[in-house]
């Protein structure tokens, strides 16, 4: 794994764990939400921009994406 791939995986794991806690979702419900809206793909695709800010900002970006799609979290 390259350093970039490790960074992406780290961010995806962190954001997933904190989303689960913040949104009060079970691991399976959170995984389904991430899968349905390809949130891990978003993190991977936008990693170069996301990693220069905090992981909290990345989580806020995901919340904005979900709100625009009509999902309340």
Domain ranges of the chain: 3-68
CA distance 41 to 23: 20
Q: How far apart are the first and last CA of the chain?
A: 33
pLDDT value for 51 = 86
| Confidence (pTM) | 0.90
Angle formed by the axes of helices 39-50 and 3-22, nearest 10°: 120
CA distance 71 to 34: 12
Give me the residues of the chain with pLDDT under 70, please: none
21-32 pLDDT, tens digit per residue, is 999 999 999 999
């Amino acid at each position: 794994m390259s350093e970039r791939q490790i960074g992406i995986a780290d961010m995806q794991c962190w954001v997933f764990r904190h989303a689960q806690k913040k949104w009060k979702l079970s691991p399976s419900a959170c995984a389904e939400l991430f899968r349905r809206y390809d949130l891990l793909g978003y993190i991977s695709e936008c990693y170069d921009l996301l990693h220069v800010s905090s992981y909290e900002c990345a989580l806020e970006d995901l919340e904005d994406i979900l709100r625009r799609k009509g999902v309340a979290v």
